[in-house]
Amino acid sequence: MFDGAVTADRAPDPDPSPDHPATDPFDATMVPALPCRDIDELRDFWTALGFDVTYRQLRPNPYLAVRRGGVDIHYFGLDGLEPQDSYSTCIVVVEDTEPVFEAFAAGLRARYGRLPLTGFPRITRPRRRANAGGTTGFSLVDPAGNWVRVMRRSPAAAAPATDAAGASAVDAYAARPEGRLARALDDAVVQADSHGDPVQACKILAGALRRSGGDADPADRVRALAYLAELTVRAGDPDAARTHLDDLDALAGDLASDVRAAVEQTLAEAADLRTALPG
């Protein structure tokens, strides 16, 4: 690897003095190095998303470094790597996930003509993550199968936990919402967007919708149907997605104005999903 890809533009720390006290030795930058078969495939992918190449070498070992803002990602060549077999991941913590998602989505649409929800690469939308304290997050899976998880900074992250590891007081899960359908939506997001299992998420959400009948909060039902439609696309069943989107359209026609305003973005995302369905 090439250390200069990270350190070349960093000024050295001044000598300790009353005006410049000694810095924390762990005031540092940590950079992920992820595997790939072809560094140039990853170079083209990330530059399409607005990143700059800070280093590239082919010999003696393929190595690539890209950067955008405060995000550095490095890649090393690994022969025989299959994207579906990758377990590599990293986390990017930002102040707001929405503008980062929109920047990535614009680059993906320009490069692929659509927002890829399946295969490699693919992306999920920013959603509340119950297993991350309720903060929003989304995942971008690169062409090599690495998961780049983008999470909103949690206010609690600045306060270190003092309980022993495993103590029940240190709990990453957010408080559960009141409605059963809203709780099922939380569980489905964890299964699909965190664990990468859209099939199991479909089962959770479809069962919850079936059991809820007409008693669920209308806004929760809109969000659940829209997400179920996306999940069925990700699970390889676009026909089921059309059915769920049709059900969503029928429900949307009967929404009160205040409910429609609350789910306007969800309905817009569902309309975008319909335009991307094959056939």
Residue range 15-60, pLDDT digits in tens: 656 666 667 888 888 999 999 999 999 999 999 999 999 999 999 9
pLDDT value of position 127: 95
Query: What type of residue is 18?
Result: P
pLDDT at 278: 85
Class in CATH terms, 176-279: mainly alpha
Which of 243, 238, 240, 231 is closest to 278 using CA atoms?
A: 238
Q: Judge contact between 5 and 54, C-beta under 8 A.
A: yes
Contacts of 131 (CB under 8 A, 6+ apart): 172, 173, 190, 194
Own/partner pairs for 243-250, CB < 8 Å, 24+ apart?
A: 245/270, 245/273, 245/274, 248/222
Closest listed residue to residue 120, CA positions, set 83, 161, 73, 169: 83
Tell me how far apart the alpha carbons of residues 198 and 228 are, in angstroms, rounded to a whole number. 9
CA distance linking residue 50 with residue 52, whole number of Å: 7
What sign does the dihedral 232-238-243-249 (CA atoms) show? positive
pLDDT at 28: 87
pLDDT of residue 94: 97
Residues of the chain with pLDDT under 70: 1-22, 156-173
